[in-house]
């Protein structure tokens, strides 16, 4: 089984009505819920994380800021918000000292990640080497792989290469919009995957109902 993380996001930003979804999904069978550093102030991040914890969710914040300073500020905000996981980001040298002694599971981006919305560049071999290097570092729990944000790589090959190189779990993040993509990631060995925009836009069966779409994706993941 592959794990599904529903992101309260659209176009790499936390949606304005993120809190509205939390209670609605508390009895959906979903375990993991996430949001981005972009689009939510530190105060909103705390509110979302608290509401999600109260509803029984494990929480993930994904860092998509593009500068070192903003990434550091986002990690400080994530720690203040009390999230369980910090995903993404490209500045482990700056972030790891901030997480020393923290129980937060840190999963940065492997490979060369550019822009916002984020895209992944580099050869599969380069990205796999990055994965091995990152997960060999103390304090790095796993990886946040922008598998479907690579313009040309074979996604199954890319994901399997990163999973093989990594010493921790690999979460495939971004641009999953179909059931067959979930199956591809599961077969390649990914621990989990995120979906945000596709459900907000109503691209999965059960739309426009968000809970129905989430349950559909959970069923696909359970059978992948």
pLDDT means per 10 residues in the chain (224 residues)?
Answer: 96 94 95 96 96 98 93 96 97 97 97 90 97 98 97 96 98 95 98 97 96 98 96
Q: State the number of CA atoms in the 13 A half-sphere of 71 facing the CB.
A: 22
CATH number of the domain within which 44 lies: 3.20.20.70
Contact predicate 99/135, CB 8 Å:
no
Q: State the number of CA atoms in the 13 A half-sphere of 25 facing the CB.
A: 30
Tell me, yes or no, whether 135 lies in a domain.
Answer: no
pLDDT at 118 (0 to 100): 86
Tell me, yes or no, whether 155 lies in a domain.
Answer: no
Tell me, yes or no, whether 165 lies in a domain.
Answer: no
Q: Which domain holds residue 60?
A: 3-108+174-223
Q: Whole-angstrom Cα distance, residue 182 to residue 141? A: 22
Tell me, yes or no, whether 67 lies in a domain.
Answer: yes
Q: Whole-angstrom Cα distance, residue 117 to residue 170? A: 20
Q: How many domains does the chain have?
A: 1
Helices 155-165 + 179-187 axis angle, to 10: 40
**pTM (2 d.p.):** 0.96
Tell me, yes or no, whether 13 lies in a domain.
Answer: yes
Tell me, yes or no, whether 142 lies in a domain.
Answer: no
First vs last C-alpha separation in the chain: 6
Instruction: Classify 71 as helix, strand or coil.
Output: helix
Tell me, yes or no, whether 65 lies in a domain.
Answer: yes
Tell me, yes or no, whether 129 lies in a domain.
Answer: no
Q: Is the dihedral of CA 142, 143, 144, 145 positive or negative?
A: negative
């Amino acid at each position: 089984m592959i794990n599904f993380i529903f992101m309260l996001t659209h176009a790499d930003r936390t949606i304005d009505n993120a809190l509205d979804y939390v209670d609605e999904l508390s009895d959906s069978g979903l375990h993991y819920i996430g949001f981005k550093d972009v689009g939510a102030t530190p105060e909103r991040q705390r509110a979302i994380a608290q509401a999600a914890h109260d509803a029984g969710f494990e929480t993930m914040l994904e860092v998509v800021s593009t500068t070192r300073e903003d990434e550091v500020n986002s990690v400080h905000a994530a720690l203040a918000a009390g999230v369980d996981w910090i995903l993404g980001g490209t500045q482990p040298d700056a972030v790891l000292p901030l997480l020393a002694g923290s129980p937060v599971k840190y999963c940065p981006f492997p490979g060369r990640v550019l822009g916002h919305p984020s895209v992944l560049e580099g050869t599969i071999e380069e990205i796999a080497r990055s994965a091995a290097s990152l997960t060999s570092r103390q304090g790095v729990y796993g990886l946040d792989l922008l598998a479907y944000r690579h313009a040309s790589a074979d996604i199954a090959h890319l994901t399997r290469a990163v999973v093989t190189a990594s010493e921790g779990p690999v979460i495939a993040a971004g641009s999953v919009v179909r059931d067959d993509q979930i199956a591809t990631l599961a077969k390649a060995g990914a621990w989990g995957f995120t979906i945000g925009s596709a459900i907000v836009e109503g691209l999965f069966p059960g739309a426009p109902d968000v809970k129905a779409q989430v349950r559909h994706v959970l069923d696909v993941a359970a059978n992948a």
